[in-house]
Structure 1
Amino acid sequence: MRSRTLPPIAVTAPVRPRTPLVALLTVLVAACAVLLGGAGSAEAAGYRYWSFWAGNGENWEYATQGPSLLRPDDGSVQGFRFAVSEDSGEAAQPRRAPDFGAICAGTPAKDGAKRVALVIDPGTAADAPGGEEPPAPRTACAQVAPDASSAEALAVVAKPLRYDGSAMLCAISGYPKTGCGEQVSGDAGRAEASSPEAAASPAKTTGEGGGADGGPSAGLLVGLGAILLLGVAAVVQARRRR
């Protein structure tokens, strides 16, 4: 009678149950990660400024050139929105549609000139500098020379404009009265910068759990250090018992 060969049996090392010490260290590491992650998300820096947009017929697209460089074609729609934004990918768009026909309906075409529809959105009270109230959003149709820039078209319908030394657009129709692209820190920084008390020094603010430069506060770092020291002490104590 032929014997049957049995398949080999895989032998694996026994899985040791997780000791209370390992579990403790896992909890400590997770706690540190949560605290650091929360501090980072609470301190996302933003800037208060006029963003510049171009309408594509249906939607808004963040402009790749500044208003002083871009020379729009006849029938173009340009948008300006004042808000606190972290970057161009998160910037708030104008709250009016880029509808050239509706905006320039009352401005007939003229030889030797072009029409540029403009949407000017000063934003909300939450984005306003301290002590200022944003005016209502509005639209305008600028009729300018064929080679005029977006900044020149804006100047026709929204004076006075204010620029800083680097030619950054700071104010449209006098709004805001002060400031130009200043940095704020997250929602807490926005609330502080919107208050009259903080209007005099909007450059740096302190958010919950963060320092003046937007990083974790000294108290948070001390707390994390204490947690890690407790973990190290637990390891040393467990080794001495073995």
Structure 2
Amino acid sequence: MTRRAALLLTALLIALAGGTGPAQATGYRYWSFWEREGKAWTYATQGPSTARPADRSVQGFRFAVSEDSQDASQPRGEAGFTTICAGTPARDGLKRVALVIDFGTASDAPSGETPPASRTACARLAPDATTADALAAVAKPLRYDANALLCAIGGYPERGCGEQVSSERKASRASEDESGGGPSLGIVAGVAAVAVLGAAAGWQARRHRHG
């Protein structure tokens, strides 16, 4: 193999090795706020203190480490308004709002804390009440910071509020899940590229020897 080919092979192998490791990213640990239409969650465009949900709305909260709204984890669970508010009958002059409160996973929890089990609740409120009012009715104690950022629901977490943390993401997680933990398509293609490059380099070296 020529020296140039060897260098190319080494560079490609380093690039492939780097692509298989976890990517470091900066995220924030916080409660994200969601609205649901049918079975689809949408990241809320305003905060719970200003959102005024209509009667029979479903609102969700998820505690997790996220880089931004595109990366945020959605609330889990399939229960809809009818199921969540089955035990809360309608009353004239009041609205009902279903809440899905997902306390997240242990990996997203602050050090020394354990997330409670996720739960749902139905709040019966005045027509102009906000989502924050709904939370206050069914999920106390709540905690806010000086900038009105929601820090804790039901007392969780006990400390912290939107703090910056280092998180890890595996680029090939979906591929690994589909293949049962085997190598991802990108890795297989990379290995094939190395084999092709090595064969070409060997052919070129033989050509020079016999030329």
In the superposition, the TM-score normalised over structure 1's length comes to 0.64
Query: 1:164 and 1:35 mapped to 2: Cα distance?
Result: 43
Query: 1:187 and 1:29 mapped to 2: Cα distance?
Result: 25
The structure with the greater share of residues assigned to strand is: 2
Tell whether 2:143 aligns with 1:162: yes
Equivalent position SS for 2:62? strand
Deviation of the 1:132 alpha carbon: 0.9
**Residues 125-167 of structure 1: CA deviation (Å, up to 9, x unaligned):** 2211111111111111111111111111111111111111221
Equivalent position SS for 1:25? helix
How do 1:22-171 residues align onto structure 2 when only pairs under 5 Å count? 22-30=4-12, 33-34=15-16, 41-171=22-152
Query: 2:15 and 2:102 mapped to 1: Cα distance?
Result: 40
1:107 counterpart letter in structure 2: T
The change in CA–CA distance for 1:25 and 1:85 in structure 2 (over 3 A counts) is: same
2:60 counterpart letter in structure 1: G
Query: 2:113 and 2:146 mapped to 1: Cα distance?
Result: 23
Identity in percent: 64
**Residues 193-239 of structure 1: CA deviation (Å, up to 9, x unaligned):** xxxxxxxxxxxxxxxxxxxxxxxxxxxxxxxxxxxxxxxxxxxxxxx
In the superposition, the TM-score normalised over structure 2's length comes to 0.72
Structure 1 segments unaligned to the other structure (5+ residues): 1-18, 189-242
Alpha-carbon contact 1:75-1:115 (below 8 Å) kept: yes
Equivalent position SS for 1:22? helix
Query: 1:44 and 1:31 mapped to 2: Cα distance?
Result: 23
The structure number with the bigger radius of gyration is 1
Equivalent position SS for 1:155? helix
> Would you say how many aligned residue pairs link Structure 1 and Structure 2?
169
Deviation of the 1:29 alpha carbon: 3.7
Alpha-carbon contact 1:104-1:117 (below 8 Å) kept: yes
Structure 2 segments unaligned to the other structure (5+ residues): 170-211
Query: 2:162 and 2:16 mapped to 1: Cα distance?
Result: 32
How do 1:6-17 residues align onto structure 2 when only pairs under 5 Å count? none
Alpha-carbon contact 2:65-2:167 (below 8 Å) kept: no
Tell whether 2:2 aligns with 1:20: yes
Query: 1:116 and 1:144 mapped to 2: Cα distance?
Result: 8
Alpha-carbon contact 1:113-1:146 (below 8 Å) kept: yes
The change in CA–CA distance for 1:60 and 1:79 in structure 2 (over 3 A counts) is: same
1:27 counterpart letter in structure 2: L
Alpha-carbon contact 1:118-1:141 (below 8 Å) kept: yes
Q: Which has the higher contact order (CA 8 A, sep 6+)?
A: 2
RMSD: 2.1
Deviation of the 1:42 alpha carbon: 2.3
